Structures are given as C-alpha cells and as structure tokens.
Amino acid sequence: MDAVELKGVTKKFGSNVIAVDAIDLGVPDGAFVTLLGPSGCGKTTSLRMVAGLEHPTAGEITIKGKRVNEIPIHKRNLGMVFQNYALFPHKTIFDNVAFGLKYRNVSKSEIAERVRRAIDIVRLPGVEERFPTQLSGGQQQRIALARALVIEPDVLLLDEPLSALDANLREEMRGEIKAIQRRIGVTAIFVTHDQGEALAMSDLVVVMNQGRIEQMGAPAEVYEQPRSEFVANFLGNANFLPATVSAVEAGNVQVALRDGTRLMVGGAARTLAPGEPVKVVIRAEKMVLGAEGALSGAIVAVDYLGATARYDVELSGGEKLMALATIRDGTRRVGEQVRIGVAPEHCRIL
C-alpha cells in the first residue's frame, strides 16, 4: 500500500488560477519522492494539501490508506520542514525540538529522551541550551529536521529546505537528509526546483509543469528517457535536432538531418514511419567531440567551467548544439572544426 495517495487532486484559487490540476500520485511506503518543477508549477500547493494547510477543490488524499480530506492538520501526524527554518527565536533548541511533543500527552522524561534522540539523529548533540541565532544556517535547518522527526511522523514533508543555504552546505545537507531518511525509514515528500537535488536524493522524481504531472520515475529513468520536450529541457542540457525519419528496420531508426547527415537513433517512445518529421533529443554531455563522428561543425563559443567546458557548435546544416566535455588538456578554440560522435542509445525521439 502507498503511504500517501492523491487521486484526481485539484486546487483552484479563485475562479481562474488552477494551481494543481487533477493529479494522481502514489508515494510508496518508506520512499523518498521529489516534486520537481519550475516556479509556480504547483509543488508547494500539492504539499500543503497533503499537510492539511490547504483544502483540495476536488479529489481525494489518503495517508496510510485513510482518507484525510476532512482531517485537520494537527491530527495527520506529519513532520514538516520549510525553506526558512521557522525555529522559535526565543526558545532554546531543546524547547524548539520538544514543541511538537507538548500537546501529545508525553511524559517529561520521555520528552527529554526523544529530544535527545532527535538531536542525535541530526548529529548536533550538546546544543540543547543554545538559542537558534547561536547556530549556523545549516545547523538551524538540522534542528528544524529534528523537530519534524521527534513526533515520529507517518510522512515527512520538506518544502525547499535547502534553498536558504550556500552551495557547499546544500550539497552536504542533501546527503545528510537522505541518509537520515534511509536510516529511520520514514516516507518523505520533498519539493525542489533544483534538478541536481532531485536526481541525487530521490527514489522517485515527479516532474510537474503548470499544475500537472509531466512524468514520474526513478531519477535515471526520467533523465535518460524523457517523454516530453519539457522534461528533457528541465532535467539537464538537452539539444533538439529537427530531422526526418529515413529508415526503420528491426527497431533501429535512421534519421536525416537538414543537411542530409544520417544519424542512428536508439530509443523512440513510439512507432515511426519513414518520411515522418521528428525531433531528436541529445544531451549535451553525451556528445563526443573529436576527429570522428557523424556530425560535423565549427565551435562558435567556449565556456570554461573548471572540470568541464561547454561548447556551442554550429553544424554544417546550421543547427546549433551545446556539448559538455570533461577538460583534460585544455579547451578547444572558437573557430575549430570538429566532428561529433554520439551513440545511438543517446539519441532519442520524443
């Protein structure tokens, strides 16, 4: 059974804003599921409906098999962590973490024990008597996590909990949150617009766009097998080449680019017929620049990125491509002629 299930869940604000548009989603028990999508696509609204902070306009939400539409927030047993840690500034760390237990009829000694354990889990023993301002941003966010975990929630809801942290800390914390979730086995729904975060942390990525679910699947699946231009674009650097199907044989598809260049294509999401106009998707890091390859063109721009370089290449047919390459001995130069090889399995037709 799924820990959380959304069936046809819709949220309208007023008469013309459809924030969430009839989504169906099952969150497996113990899984780490991420809602990923651009600003305004309905991630927070979806999470707030699971939490009980927002009431669905239509549809049904179940938690552990029980319909919760009519159940108020404090009776849903959920842990929540938001972007701005939202710790109480005038309470000690101990009181902040203990807060969720106060109204739960838990004895004083048990509160002390559970707070100690929660602070241990987030690896901050010894900070109990401090105040939030005496902790760093990353430490405060860990305390917010401890406060959410102390009640032993059925589901942990996290809305962009790392976005206030700097890049290094973000990466450290994403590993830590994931490790904690794994260790205690709590079901988690995580919201982010950061694709790297989503791919690194999730068992299941749910890509949202304009209130709808575009695609969901394991990280490698949504990345390697995008089903739409939106998903291909949002997850990583994708190139789209207009082409015409020139041959279909035993599952192998050959396409012709504008200048007649032939390219073998591995994956197609549907059946194709010769003569059909298509778009071929190739990720920037799957292209191999060198002396060989089906495509040829000239480098028109180079961005040095440290470990990698980003090349803009203009093909002989006029199309522009972006290629990412690991830097070994310096970068290539603008104006240089190159050939580009790309394996059939890395060319996909949507």
Ligand X SMILES: Nc1ncnc2c1ncn2[C@@H]1O[C@H](COP(=O)(O)OP(=O)(O)OP(=O)(O)O)[C@@H](O)[C@H]1O
Binding to Mg ion (CB under 5 A) within 39-68 occurs at: 44
In the complex with ligand X, the residue whose CB is nearer, 45 or 239, is 45
Provide, rounded to whole angstroms, the least separation between the CB of residue 111 and ligand X: 34
> Looking at 193, 283, 346, 348, which residue binds ligand X (CB under 6 A)?
193
Number of residues that bind Mg ion (CB under 5 A): 1
In the complex with ligand X, the residue whose CB is nearer, 23 or 232, is 23
> Among 42-50, 90-98, 132-140, 246-254, which window interacts with ligand X (CB under 6 A)?
42-50
In the complex with Mg ion, the residue whose CB is nearer, 34 or 44, is 44
180-206 core/surface letters (b: 16 or more CB in 10 A; e: else)? bbeeeebbbbbbbbbbebbbebbbbbb
x/- binding map, residues 59-98, to ligand X, per CB under 6 A? Answer: ----------------------------------------
Provide, rounded to whole angstroms, the least separation between the CB of residue 44 and Mg ion: 3
**40 touches ligand X by CB under 6 A:** yes
**232 touches ligand X by CB under 6 A:** no
> Among 41-49, 113-121, 286-294, 296-304, which window interacts with ligand X (CB under 6 A)?
41-49
17 binds, among ligand X, Mg ion, none (CB under 5 to 8 A by kind): ligand X
**25 touches ligand X by CB under 6 A:** no
**178 touches ligand X by CB under 6 A:** no
Provide, rounded to whole angstroms, the least separation between the CB of residue 189 and Mg ion: 13
Provide, rounded to whole angstroms, the least separation between the CB of residue 291 and ligand X: 44
In the complex with Mg ion, the residue whose CB is nearer, 205 or 349, is 205
41 binds, among Mg ion, ligand X, none (CB under 5 to 8 A by kind): ligand X
Reduced 3-state DSSP string for the chain? CEEEEEEEEEEEECCCEEEEEEEEEEEECCCEEEEECCCCCCHHHHHHHHHCCCCCCEEEEEECCEECCCCCHHHCCEEEECCCCCCCCCCCHHHHHHHHHCCCCCCHHHHHHHHHHHHHHCCCCCCCCCCHHHCCHHHHHHHHHHHHHCCCCCEEEEECCCCCCCHHHHHHHHHHHHHHHHHHCCEEEEEECCHHHHHHHCCEEEEEECCEEEEEECHHHHHHCCCCHHHHHHCCCEEEEEEEEEEEECCEEEEEECCCCEEEECEECCCCCCCCEEEEEEEHHHCEEECCCCEEEEEEEEEECCCEEEEEEEECCCCEEEEEEECCCCCCCCCCEEEEECCHHHEEEC
**39 touches ligand X by CB under 6 A:** yes
Contact footprint for Mg ion (CB under 5 A): 44
Contact footprint for ligand X (CB under 6 A): 13, 17, 19, 37, 39-45, 193
